[in-house]
Amino acid sequence: GIQVEQSPPDLILQEGANSTLRCNFSDSVNNLQWFHQNPWGQLINLFYIPSGTKQNGRLSATTVATERYSLLYISSSQTTDSGVYFCAVERPSGYSTLTFGKGTMLLVSP
C-alpha cells in the first residue's frame, strides 16, 4: 500500500514562531487532506488540497503532486495551535480510503 511519512515527528515552538510540516507519499494520489487533532480526539479539517496552494488565515498548504509531497505552513503560532497534525492521502481505488501518516506533534509554549 501507499506509504505516508510526516516530518518532523515532534516540534516545540515559542508563541509567535513560524513552522513548516512536511508530508511525503510514495505513490500518486487523488486526494490529500491536512487535519489537526485536538486533545479530545476530534479531527479538524484544515485543507483539502490534492494539488496547488491554499491559504486560510495563518495557515497555508502546498501540494506538489508530481513530486509526491505536501507542506503545511503555520505562521505566528499560538498556544491553541498545539496538538497533532495529520496528513492523509487517498489513492485512486474506487472507494474512499484515507491513509494517514503518523502525525507531527506540535507544542507551542507561551
Partner 1 sequence: DAGVTQSPTHLIKTRGQHVTLRCSPISGHKSVSWYQQVLGQGPQFIFQYYEKEERGRGNFPDRFSARQFPNYSSELNVNALLLGDSALYLCASSLETENTEAFFGQGTRLTVV
| By the rule CB under 8 A, 103 interacts with partner 1 | yes
**C-alpha cell of residue 72:** 503545511
**Backbone phi and psi for residue 34, each to the nearest 5 degrees, phi listed first:** -110, 135
Cα 73 to Cα 97: distance, rounded to the nearest angstrom: 25
Cα 17 to Cα 67: distance, rounded to the nearest angstrom: 28
In the stretch 63-92, what mask flags binding to partner 1 with x, by CB under 8 A?
-----------------------x-x-x-x
H-type alpha helices, the chain: none
Measured on CA atoms in the order 73, 41, 107, 88, is the torsion positive or negative?
A: negative
Question: What's the closest the beta carbon of residue 93 comes to partner 1, in angstroms?
Answer: 7
Q: Which range of residues in 14-22, 26-34, 60-68, 73-81 is near partner 1 by CB under 8 A?
A: 26-34
Question: What's the closest the beta carbon of residue 50 comes to partner 1, in angstroms?
Answer: 8
Question: What's the closest the beta carbon of residue 78 comes to partner 1, in angstroms?
Answer: 22
The residues that touch partner 1, with contacts defined as CB under 8 A, are 4, 30-31, 33, 35, 40-43, 45, 48, 86, 88, 90, 92-103
